[in-house]
């Protein structure tokens, strides 16, 4: 006699034991649930299916005759036939699908907003970076990209002028086809005009400018790309500041000290010499403290010892 058993868990957590007995010779079949007989059939010798309810679920036990004459048995809950429970289930499923659709749509919208936010933040940071390091006319990310791919390089010179009681800085450059482009920006009424690169501006300081040949009004003056003549001017200013603080040293030695710093730390270190008389409150980037850190650097001392010992 074939004997099978299943355990069915309903949606409220209840356990229901379903069993089946099927006679080998007689074919008599009995199905029971929770020790209660729910189906009896006689001489079952072919494929057949039996239905019964457990609570409000329509359950089905299948008896399947195999090709070799043996039988297989299966227990399933029918979730498609029209029953009160399945109607409720379909309503619940539609509600869950709507909730899932809303959740997925909300998640996609959140990701989209986050992506757009990050893109906006990246664009904002790039704009801030460009505005802090360069003089950019018609500033935009699209124009910045075009300049990086289509831009041509030139040299822009800067001039300090007094115009109608207002100090301004004018700049100009000439394109490859001899077009003259100029612009201006306001400057503080008093004191040195400190550029984004940290150096004080003097007349005719020059920097690399990148412009669009098709529209030269779209251009960028990069204060971190001074010309050789401008760097030489920074060296002279650094030497003068060094002699102003240390009157006993020679002009040759002061220039050697400045050049040694530029060789070891880069030309931007010359600003530490130029502003060595300033306090951190007066100049946060370049001041007495940054100058002392530079000249007390072990590597700098070695360079000075080798290059400036006889000056």
Domains in the chain, ordered, with CATH? Answer: 2-78 (2.40.128.180), 80-226 (no CATH), 230-307 (no CATH)
Neighbours of 80 (CB within 10 A): 9
pLDDT value, residue 125 = 60
**Contact 130/144 with Cβ under 8 angstroms?**
yes
pLDDT digits 0-9 by tens, 187-237:
888 888 999 999 999 999 999 999 999 999 999 999 999 999 999 999 999
Share above pLDDT 70 across residues of the chain, in percent, rounded to a whole number: 95
Structure tokens at 189: 């009424």
Angle at 141 between CA 136 and CA 145, to 5 degrees: 90
Helix residue spans in the chain (DSSP H): 84-133, 141-150, 228-245, 251-265, 270-274, 288-295, 298-307
pLDDT over threshold 70, residue 126: no
What CA–CA distance (Å, rounded) separates 265 from 238?
A: 14
273 confidence band (pLDDT: 50, 70, 90):
very high
For 164-191, give the DSSP string.
TTEEEEEEEEE-TT--EEEEEEE--SSS
Mean pLDDT for 106-122 is: 77
Please state whether the predicted TM-score (pTM) of the whole model is above 0.95: no
């Amino acid at each position: 006699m074939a004997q099978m058993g299943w355990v069915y868990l309903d949606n409220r957590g209840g356990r229901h034991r379903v069993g089946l007995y099927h006679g080998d010779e007689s074919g008599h079949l009995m199905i029971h649930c929770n020790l209660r007989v729910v189906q009896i059939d006689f001489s079952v010798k072919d494929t057949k299916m039996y239905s019964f309810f457990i609570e409000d679920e329509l359950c089905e036990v299948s008896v399947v005759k195999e090709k070799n004459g043996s039988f297989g048995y299966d227990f399933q809950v029918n979730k498609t036939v029209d029953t009160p429970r399945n109607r409720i289930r379909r309503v619940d499923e539609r509600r869950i699908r709507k909730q899932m659709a809303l959740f997925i749509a909300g998640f996609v919208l959140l990701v989209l907003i986050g992506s757009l936010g990050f893109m906006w933040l990246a664009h904002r940071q790039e704009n801030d970076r460009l505005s802090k390091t360069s003089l950019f006319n018609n500033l935009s990310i699209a124009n910045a990209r075009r300049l990086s791919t289509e831009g041509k390089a030139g040299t822009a010179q800067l001039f300090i002028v007094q115009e109608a009681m207002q100090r301004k800085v004018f700049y100009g450059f000439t394109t490859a086809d001899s077009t003259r482009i100029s612009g201006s920006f306001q400057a503080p009424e008093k004191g040195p005009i400190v550029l984004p690169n940290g150096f004080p501006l003097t007349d005719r300081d020059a920097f690399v400018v990148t412009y669009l040949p098709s529209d030269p009004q779209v251009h960028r003056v990069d204060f971190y790309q001074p010309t050789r003549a401008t760097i030489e001017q920074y060296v002279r200013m650094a030497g003068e500041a060094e002699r102003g603080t240390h009157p006993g040293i020679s002009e040759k030695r002061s220039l050697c000290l400045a050049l040694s710093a530029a060789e070891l730390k880069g030309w931007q270190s010359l600003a530490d010499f130029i502003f060595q008389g300033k306090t951190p409150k007066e100049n946060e980037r370049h001041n007495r403290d940054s100058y002392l850190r530079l000249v007390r650097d072990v590597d700098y001392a070695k360079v000075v010892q080798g290059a400036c010992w006889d000056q």
